[in-house]
Amino acid sequence: MKYKYAKSLKGHDKGKIYEIVSFSERVVELKDQTGRIKKKNRKHIQPIKGDTNV
């Protein structure tokens, strides 16, 4: 997977940055700064390239 982070494009969390935990055909599991897991539709996020050396 070449993307490590995603930006929310829709919903009350619009503009928030998440770490991508896992993904399927339609749903992406995202983790916020507090460690909570959130599921979002793939259409509602924008993947962001992250540093793979971390």
Closest CA to 16 of 28, 27, 6: 6
pLDDT at position 3, please? Answer: 82
Task: List CB contacts of 53: < 8 A, sequence separation 6 or more.
Answer: none
In a domain, 53, yes or no: no
In a domain, 54, yes or no: no
Q: pTM (2 decimals)? A: 0.80
Determine the structural domain holding residue 17 and report its residue range: 5-48
In a domain, 11, yes or no: yes
DSSP string, 15-38: T-EEEEEEE-SSEEEEE-TT--EE
Contact between 25 and 40 (Cβ < 8 Å): no
pLDDT at position 49, please? Answer: 81
Q: What is the pLDDT along the chain (54 residues), one digit of tens a residue?
A: 578 999 999 999 999 999 999 999 999 999 999 999 999 999 999 999 866 444
